[in-house]
Chains A and B, each alone.
Chain A
Amino acid sequence: MAVMMELVNLERSFKVGRALVRAVDGVTLRINEGEVVCLVGESGCGKTTTGKMAVGLLRPTAGEVRFRGQDIWQMNAADFRQYRQAVQIIHQDPYSSLNPTQSVVDIISAPLLRHGFARSRLAARKLAAEFLQRVDMTPPEDYLDKYPHQLSGGQRQRVSVARALTVNPRFIMADEAVSMLDVSIRVGLLKMLGRFREELGMTYLFITHDLAVAKFFAWDGRIAVMYLGRVVEVGPTPRLIRFPQHPYTKALLSAIPEADPVATREKERVQLRSMDVPSLLHIPAGCSFHPRCPLFEPGVCDRQVPQLRDIGNGVEIACHVVAREAGVA
């Protein structure tokens, strides 16, 4: 399968006062054409920053974002424009990502007119109606002249999706796109996004803190788990969920409560050595998980930063101990 996007040793730090916060600290990730990759992790792990760099909204401090083999920050203007069209975003909050003074037809027409997909307002309106149909807002006439405040959260998010689809993208970065929606509406949206993979061959970088949602959405894709700015484990979804390898992934999976009383009450829990989440201003030396890790080995884990290593079955992990036991260290 052709590689669509490649993040290579991506780093990004932010100045906070006089200090430097390393939000993303060497992320390497490959996303194939038509694949869905979920980026999961707790708040502050750098998943949104990574996503923003992938779509060119944020310039990395170091490392490269390659789109179809080309470093996006070395592209000429025409190529960059093409890349920007091919890559679209769905934001978390449909209440703030739509302009409240514009009607649905204005919102969807703007990119159509701007990028020359429609020559007149009338043509744009026609196309906008088609896009509304594509996101299951039927009949479109009921919605075209409405304003965002007249729509429910789920409908608003569908309008954001319709807007993203206007420029015929190949790649969508969705950042917590369903987190703010009620459960009864969430599934419909997830299924619709999934359908675009078959219908349009869409590729997704799907960012979420909810592993159960990631499991549902990326069952035939991959999950990448981030902790304090680094990817600690990547693997095919079913394998990662069933046989997590990295101690952090194990801890996360064992800690998540589930909507199933027997399963959730009888789950075995991984005990961590410490509950304190280190500050991003003072990321622990070596493996940043070592102060909490149950497998911690002094002299190894607190000295060297573990690199992502392939341990077979498409699984890569960044852990000295597990890698050694798998015989790849």
Chain B
Amino acid sequence: MQPTKPLQSTHIKEEVTLAVNDLWISYQARRGTVKAVRGVSFDLRLGETLAFIGESGCGKTTLGLGLIRLLPKTARVERGTIIYSRNNIRASVLDMDNEALRSFRWKECAMIFQGAQNAFNPVLRIRDQVFDTARAHGESNRARVRERMLDLFQLVSLESDRVMNAYPHELSGGMRQRVLLALGLLLDPQLIILDEPTTALDILTQRSVIDVLRNLRNQLDFSLILISHDLSLAAELADRVGTMYAGALVEVADVYDTYYHPYHPYTIGLIRAVPTLSGERRDLISIPGTPPDLIDPPRGCAFNPRCPYATERCRTEQPQLETVGLNHQVACWNWQAVVADHGGRLILAAQE
């Protein structure tokens, strides 16, 4: 049985919040230049959730940091454009000066880092950390901030008054993560970047954070970029999924297509390697080999040494993302052979 595809979510608007074009980021290491992000392009629409999946070292965190211009000093944006727009006013993120960046960050685009729930100042009450944030970004009316924060705490299912007056250590990991989500939304940004938001949280806590995120998405208008190595998190929350390999986007598709009709051999490999709980035990297949060295990535398609479909062309010419269906792009010379092979369809638990 084919899963019925839900109608296109109504929360996604036509308007494009973020347009990234041919972005290249590299790090200077002693051994040479690490090409961490290699020619990434994508559009993110208002209200949409785009998840970037991939294994460690595929460049997803670097991409996230690059979008908000928080890269470490050893990194450099080599090339590309990042255009952010809100209410038809467009701004080029890479051309912003310090002043412009200050007002871009948090008011327009908030990022919540991996493990940030452990980065609160332990000697300040949550209340004071909220006011600090607001003041640093030019909002000094405490009553107004307080009111907004109490609303947000309610949205993330926290007891507003208790949390406001608490010290970080009095809150559990999941509660702190929810405080962060609320804090991220304080200045009403239109874009939120979450890097591994549930990693290191326990299962039941993770569930509460996921539910809160979904709830926020339904109630507020913002675009979300989700960076995670966890394929199940993307399956839960994403509208669209971008698969990254060796710094490049190799496939971008609607979440259902990514999991049930992936075209790129690497996406297929990832999904076949992850065990599921529902259904029978299905056999898992590992991807042979290891991810490439990004100082000296393989010529042509970076996946070619591990790819069962690799041909001569893959070893010499790098494929670019091409549109292969509605909302579906793939960067593979042999995607037609791939589709012909497995009928363009993966059998997961839901169809059994």
Contacts and interface: CB of A to CB of B under 8 A. Distances in A.
B286 A184 contact: yes
A182 B58 CA distance: 11
A52 interface: no
Nearest to B202: A42
B259 A260 contact: yes
A257 B349 contact: no
A168 interface: no
Contacts of B104: none
Contact of B277 (A191, A212, A251, A275): A212
A185 B284 contact: no
A183 B53 CA distance: 11
Interface string A259-298: 1111111110100100111000000000000000000000
A103 to B, nearest CB: 20
Interface in B221-238: 229-233, 235-236
B306 to A, nearest CB: 8
B290 A185 contact: yes
A185 B55 CA distance: 10
Contacts of A241: 277
A43 interface: yes
A274 B256 CA distance: 33
A263 B274 contact: no
A259 B273 CA distance: 10
B204 A255 contact: yes
Contact of B55 (A182, A238, A257, A258): A182
Contact of B259 (A252, A259, A276): A259
Contacts of B286: 184-188, 191
Contacts of A209: 202-203
Interface stretch (B127-135, B188-196, B206-214, B318-326): B206-214
A80 interface: no
B204 A42 contact: yes
Contacts, number: 130
A215 B232 contact: no
Given A253-B277, A255-B203, A261 B174 contact: no
A272 B350 contact: no
Q: How large is the interface on B (under 10, 10 to 19, 20 to 34, 35 or more residues)?
A: 35 or more
Interface in A75-97: none
Contacts of A219: 281
A267 B291 CA distance: 34
Interface string B239-273: 00000000000000001100110000000011101
Interface in A177-216: 182-188, 190-191, 209, 211-213, 215-216
Contacts of A257: 206-207, 210, 230, 232-233, 235-236
B232 A258 contact: yes
Contacts of B203: 42, 209, 252, 255-256
A114 B129 CA distance: 57
Interface in B262-306: 269-271, 273-279, 281, 284-287, 290-291
Interface in B323-349: 348-349
B56 interface: yes
A154 interface: yes
A120 interface: no
Contacts of B202: 42-43, 209, 277
11 contacts: A42-B204, A183-B231, A184-B270, A185-B286, A187-B286, A209-B202, A215-B277, A258-B277, A259-B235, A264-B235, A266-B350
Given A185-B290, A263-B279, A264-B236, 13 more contacts: A43-B202, A184-B286, A212-B276, A216-B284, A252-B204, A255-B207, A258-B277, A260-B235, A260-B348, A264-B232, A269-B207, A275-B174, A276-B172
In the A-B complex, the 6 residue pairs with the closest CB atoms: A255-B207, A184-B287, A187-B286, A188-B286, A259-B231, A257-B232
